[in-house]
Amino acid sequence: MTPTPLLPLDQAHNAARVGGKAAALARLLRQGLPVPEGLVVPVGTPESAVPILVDRILAWAEGRAPYGLIARSSAVAEDGAAVSFAGMYASRFTPAHSGPLHAAITEVRSSALQPTAQAYARAHGITAALGMAVVIQPALRPTASGVLAAEVLAGRCVRWRIEAVRGLAEPLVSGTQTGEVHSGLRHTAHPVQPAEQRIILMPGAPDELRLPPGEWTTITGVNQDETLAKIKTSQEGVLHLHTPTPWAADPVLSEEHRLALLDSAVVAAAALSLERIDLEWAFTADGTLHLVQARPLTRPLHEARATGRHCEDGWTGIPAVAGTAAGPAVRIGEGTALTGAVLICGALGPEAAGALLEQPAAVVSTTGGPLSHTAIIARELGIPCVTNVKAATAIPSARLIEVNGTEGTVRPVAGIPEQRTERARLDGAAVVLQRLPATAAHDGRAATLLLHSPAEHHPVLPTLTASAEHGTVGVLIVDEDVATPELPGFQVIRLKSLGRLLWPVDGGDVPETLVTVDPNGRVLHSRGLHD
């Protein structure tokens, strides 16, 4: 019996057998570009043959894969000139053990049958079966990785965009993290946009993967600087590490890295006969650049949507104080008046109380939740607030932003929208309160109902004086098990589904609508007397 072929990556010529990704990588390898070595499980390999291949892969991986292996999709239609299938198929990190490796290969192969991939294929007029090969490579432990999109002309990148994160690029590609952005046009490099990366993903060595969250492990940065990083968790062979504090403000890539990437893009584009190229790349601790994927850029660069979240999309956090307001972003200590502005801050101390009394329009905090001290002081002062907007540090001062404290969102706006107050129309309604205010409201209400609370002994029951000042005043008892208070001059009216009402015998008809209003007169809730 002929052994089932397992192709070395550098011999993966035939895209119909090895898929688009493997074929492109093989071409780069043949041009001497730095592609990690690998093996290919070809299209059409029967499932029964996989166990034998797994044994052969593991023998090959001996001594090559200190951080395990990665099984990557390489579909026949993948990485084409018109369609990329980017993000449609699976890639899996796996320890170099037979069971997990077999499972990873099976999972990658079966990702060809995923409904999203099939729908994508149909949408692009691909009706043939989606043949799937699998590329197996040693997992890299990158110091930095990312994507590069470039338009290449006359041996030079004339327009480019690089997005980089520390560690693996997966969170960048999936859009859960914002990478450091380098971009440029011809000879001009635009200012670098910093990354927003709180978690670094890296393949782990077996002893690291046995460490529980909270332990420390040593990692190497792009400048070969070693530091300790705390483990957040680990799963499927990948460590999730909290970004070490000293690294948080450091750039991910140097200019030297950027130039090396652009040079590689030019060579790779030539090797693949492309004018627009999309590369995935990684630097490892020894400073080596690795190209892990290359494909045609299927859209012009200026249309390519950035991965990750960016300023234009706005930011989300935790709703902390209801209300919407807009104003220019300011920070304490900038010498700018806070009145009508949006205060960007971290956790506030009592020193900030005076500033908050200047009545900023809203507060955006980088930390905390709805019960944090910042949220509570904003609530006490009636200032809309969103907390835990980690990326708020990147909001430039003076930029106009709108804060929605109910939704927990912050977004840039072109102007400050006019504030509208929903004044209630109370004509004919009874307003339900827990206590009578010091001064009577003249808002057109037909009556005031005091809500009787069994625990707090509210309300102070209406008196003739109160009724004289506040108009008709009754008592609403919504608790079934509360005794009806004796109140001379009041009758008890049983409501169909709301409890009982103590109503002045000379109070006339009971209003059909009951409402509650906030101090601005906005109706918070309304219901019919017999609902």
Partner 1 sequence: MEPVWNGMLTCDYERSRPASTLLEWDLYTTSLIAWPRVLLEDPTPYGRLRRPGIVDIDEPVHLRLVAALEKFLSDPDRVRDLADRTALHREQTASALDQAEQALSDRDVKAADEAIGRGTAAFLKVMSAHIVNWLLPEQQWEDLLSQVLSSRARARDCTLALATPNRTGHLLQAHRLLLEAAASIRDGRPLALAAADVSARAGTLYGAGSPAAAAMPLEDPDRAADLLRTLSSSADPESELASLTGSLDRSAAVREAWETAALLAAGGRPGQLAAVRALSTALAWAADSEERRKELRHRYLSLVRRWCTAREHDATRVTTPDLLALGDGR
Comparing CA positions, the residue from 198, 190, 290 lying closest to residue 249 is 198
To the nearest whole angstrom, how small is the minimum distance from the Cβ of residue 183 to partner 1? 34
Query: Between residues 465 and 497, which has the closer beta carbon with respect to partner 1?
Result: 497
To the nearest whole angstrom, how small is the minimum distance from the Cβ of residue 433 to partner 1? 6
Query: Between residues 151 and 208, which has the closer beta carbon with respect to partner 1?
Result: 208
Reply yes or no: is the peptide bond before residue 459 cis, omega within 30 of 0. yes
Query: Between residues 311 and 376, which has the closer beta carbon with respect to partner 1?
Result: 376
Query: Between residues 129 and 493, which has the closer beta carbon with respect to partner 1?
Result: 493
Cα–Cα distance for residue pair 17/10, rounded to 1 Å: 14
Query: Between residues 57 and 477, which has the closer beta carbon with respect to partner 1?
Result: 477
**Phi, psi (rounded to 5 degrees) for 233:** -170, 180
Cα–Cα distance for residue pair 378/386, rounded to 1 Å: 10
Query: Between residues 146 and 319, which has the closer beta carbon with respect to partner 1?
Result: 319
Comparing CA positions, the residue from 531, 327, 508 lying closest to residue 428 is 508
Query: Between residues 124 and 458, which has the closer beta carbon with respect to partner 1?
Result: 458
To the nearest whole angstrom, how small is the minimum distance from the Cβ of residue 457 to partner 1? 13
Q: Please give the C-alpha separations between residue 98 and each of 55, 71, 105, 239, 335, in angstroms, as whole numbers.
A: 7, 13, 10, 21, 64
Query: Between residues 227 and 235, which has the closer beta carbon with respect to partner 1?
Result: 235
The tokens describing 231, both together, are 């483990």
To the nearest whole angstrom, how small is the minimum distance from the Cβ of residue 350 to partner 1? 4
Element (H, E) at 103: helix 98-110
To the nearest whole angstrom, how small is the minimum distance from the Cβ of residue 531 to partner 1? 8
Comparing CA positions, the residue from 465, 462, 472, 464 lying closest to residue 435 is 462
Give the residue carrying structure tokens 């339900």: 432
Cα–Cα distance for residue pair 85/42, rounded to 1 Å: 18
CA 151 to chain centre: 29
| Contact positions vs partner 1 (CB under 8 A) | 212-214, 230, 232-235, 242, 245, 319-322, 348-354, 357, 369-373, 375-377, 379-382, 405-407, 432-435, 451, 455, 476, 478-480, 495, 497-499, 514, 516-519, 524-525, 527, 531
The tokens describing 69, both together, are 């292996």
Query: Between residues 225 and 407, which has the closer beta carbon with respect to partner 1?
Result: 407
CB 263 within 8 A of CB 150: no
* DSSP strand pairing (342-345 vs 362-365): parallel
* Contacts of residue 299, Cβ cutoff 8 Å, sequence gap at least 6: none
To the nearest whole angstrom, how small is the minimum distance from the Cβ of residue 391 to partner 1? 19
Cα–Cα distance for residue pair 7/39, rounded to 1 Å: 5
Sign (positive/negative) of CA torsion 202, 208, 213, 217?
A: negative
To the nearest whole angstrom, how small is the minimum distance from the Cβ of residue 244 to partner 1? 11
Cα–Cα distance for residue pair 251/243, rounded to 1 Å: 13
To the nearest whole angstrom, how small is the minimum distance from the Cβ of residue 218 to partner 1? 17
To the nearest whole angstrom, how small is the minimum distance from the Cβ of residue 372 to partner 1? 8
To the nearest whole angstrom, how small is the minimum distance from the Cβ of residue 349 to partner 1? 7
To the nearest whole angstrom, how small is the minimum distance from the Cβ of residue 171 to partner 1? 15
Query: Between residues 74 and 234, which has the closer beta carbon with respect to partner 1?
Result: 234
Cα–Cα distance for residue pair 485/453, rounded to 1 Å: 12
3-state secondary structure of 514: strand
Cα–Cα distance for residue pair 275/288, rounded to 1 Å: 25
Cα–Cα distance for residue pair 290/287, rounded to 1 Å: 10
* Contacts of residue 132, Cβ cutoff 8 Å, sequence gap at least 6: 19, 43, 73, 74, 75, 76, 89, 108, 109, 111, 112
Give the residue carrying structure tokens 């060595």: 205
To the nearest whole angstrom, how small is the minimum distance from the Cβ of residue 370 to partner 1? 6
The tokens describing 111, both together, are 């990702």
Query: Between residues 183 and 243, which has the closer beta carbon with respect to partner 1?
Result: 243
Query: Between residues 156 and 216, which has the closer beta carbon with respect to partner 1?
Result: 216
Query: Between residues 271 and 341, which has the closer beta carbon with respect to partner 1?
Result: 341
To the nearest whole angstrom, how small is the minimum distance from the Cβ of residue 54 to partner 1? 25
Dihedral of the alpha carbons of 234, 238, 242, 247, in degrees to the nearest 10: 160
Element (H, E) at 313: none
Comparing CA positions, the residue from 431, 481, 494 lying closest to residue 454 is 481
